[in-house]
Every structure is written in structure tokens, then in C-alpha cells.
Amino acid sequence: MLIFGMSISSALFTDSQARLYVWLFGQPERAYHLNELRRLTGLGSASLQRELNRLATTDLVIAQAVGNLRRFQANPQSPVFAELVALTRKTLGTVPVLREALQPLQPGLISAWVYGSVAKQTDTARSDIDVMLVGNDLLLSQVLASLEPAEAQLGRKINPSCYSPQEFERRRAEPDSFVNRVLSQPILPLIGDAHEPT
């Protein structure tokens, strides 16, 4: 199964690495049990063990024994920790995963961006991802269906709000609208041009 398509991530990482890194280096503060990683990555035991052994023997990941279970966590003492976390977030994190998921909605979808706690970087692993979309004939039910794989991959709920271009422009003209409040705060552009607050 090709999850990530032709992208920077597939040039840099094998499919197994991509599935594993998005958890280990995408949420580096979190420690995982082996079974948990097997469930989250969908990898078979053998390939998961192989990847984990490579990461553990080079100290990129700490393997900690808790009773008879082992817990794995990104090693913050590793000399390339910060780079790996940044590379993972930029290539496998929220933005690239959402971009990929929204591709099939184009050309009807004109622009889309993340707002709220994820865009402000005040999110926790449990925060929802808020996405605003502008396009012609967008149906929320279709958008939700397109985003389902991204929700599974990122392990978070995604809350889309849809606007037609006319509706969006009308809200832009109202200084106190929800749209303008969103645009006056940090956003992460996904599709199309970023909008400036009025």
C-alpha cells in the first residue's frame, strides 16, 4: 500500500521508515510499546523489529525495558534529534498528510489552511485539527470522507469548515466574522494562496 505517494517523504524514507518515524519523531515526547507501534504503523513484526533495532543500536531511539516489555522513544540526546524531528514534521507531519488528502478535491477546492491550536503550535497529541476550506460545490460529507485516511494516519480528529468563494468574500468583508478572526491568527497554508487578514 502506497500511503504517501510521490512526495519528498517517499524520496527520503522507505515506506516502513515513514510509517514508523511519523510516530517516533513526529511525537518525540511519547514512548511506545512494541504492540502499540505495530498497531499504529501497520507494519509486520519482522520489519518493525528490524527498523527499531537499527534506530536503537545507533541511539537514535531509546529502548527501555519496563518489566518484560520494551518501550521505545526518540532519544533527545542524539546529535541529530532536532533535525530528525523537524524533517519528520515537515515531510510526514500534519501539513503534508493533509495536502495529500485534499488533492482529490481539486480543482473545486481553491484554498485550504490549518488554523487553531495546531497552527499556533499550542496543540497537544489530543487536540483536534481545525481546517478551513474555500471552494465551489464543496460538501462537508465529501471533505470528511477525503480526510478519513489522514485522521487515521495522524491519530487526530479533523474539523473542516467549508465556504464557497462568494460566502468567503462576504465574511471577509465583515470585520468581526469568524473567518477574519481565524485569519488574524497563525495559519498553515495547505492549498492555494494564503489569505491576509483584512
Partner 1 sequence: MSQPELDNLVRIGQLKAEPRNAQEVTRMLAMARTRLSDAKLSNLSLEGRFTSAYNAAHAAALAALRWHGYRSENRYTVFQCLTHTLGWPANRWRVLDAAHQKRNLAEYEGYLDIEESTVAEMCALVQSLIADVQDLIAK
Of 71 and 172, the one with the shorter C-beta distance to partner 1 is: 172
Cell of 20: 514508523
Binding to partner 1 by residue 164, rule CB under 8 A? yes
In angstroms, the CA 76 to CA 121 distance is 19
Binding map of partner 1 across residues 119-158, x = CB under 8 A, - = no contact: -------------------xxxxx-xx--x----------
Of 73 and 180, the one with the shorter C-beta distance to partner 1 is: 180
Question: DSSP string of 63-118?
Answer: EEEETTEEEEEE-TTSTTHHHHHHHHHHHHSHHHHHHHHHGGGTTTEEEEEEETHH
Shortest distance, position 161 Cβ to partner 1, whole Å:
8
Binding partner 1 (rule: CB under 8 A), the pick from 162, 183, 190, 191 is: 162
- Helix, strand or coil for residue 172? helix
Binding to partner 1 by residue 172, rule CB under 8 A? no
In angstroms, the CA 141 to CA 179 distance is 21
Interacting residues with partner 1 (CB under 8 A): 138-142, 144-145, 148, 159, 162-164, 167, 171, 177-179, 181
